[in-house]
Amino acid sequence: SQKIEQNSEALNIQEGKTATLTCNYTNYSPAYLQWYRQDPGRGPVFLLLIRENEKEKRKERLKVTFDTTLKQSLFHITASQPADSATYLCALDITGGSYIPTFGRGTSLIVHP
């Protein structure tokens, strides 16, 4: 069955460092992969989308990579700040579109001042 895995343990880092979050998947041929940020009790907010034929995408301090051979996406936040503390979700939708994206459970990032 299709499966998405994100590290369930919280990631603790110091302010100014680069945070790297991982999203692994199995039994998928994703058309694209998305990253969302979610604050406690709030709805997810879209951050970045990367397509299956793209290797890397950047937006300000954010960078996403997509390796369809390893079936993995890495999400980087450079020069992290305490305000970046949140849960980050990855989501996949399959090639051809199923209209039912599958979300990972999310990884909590805590940036210490």
Partner 1 sequence: EAQVTQNPRYLITVTGKKLTVTCSQNMNHEYMSWYRQDPGLGLRQIYYSMNVEVTDKGDVPEGYKVSRKEKRNFPLILESPSPNQTSLYFCASSLSVWTTEKLFFGSGTQLSVL
Using CB under 8 A, list all residues that contact partner 1.
Answer: 31-32, 34, 36, 41-46, 49, 89, 91, 93, 97, 99-101, 103-106
Contact (Cβ atoms closer than 8 angstroms) between residue 21 and residue 110: no
Q: State which residue, 6 or 85, has the beta carbon closest to partner 1.
A: 6
Q: Which residue has the tokens 């051809």?
A: 96
Q: Which residue, 32 or 80, is less far from partner 1 as judged by CB?
A: 32
Output the smallest distance, CB 17 to partner 1, in A. Answer: 27
- Tell how far CA 39 is from the center of its chain: 14
Q: Which is nearer to partner 1, 11 or 49 (CB)?
A: 49
Distance of closest approach, residue 55 Cβ to partner 1, in angstroms: 19
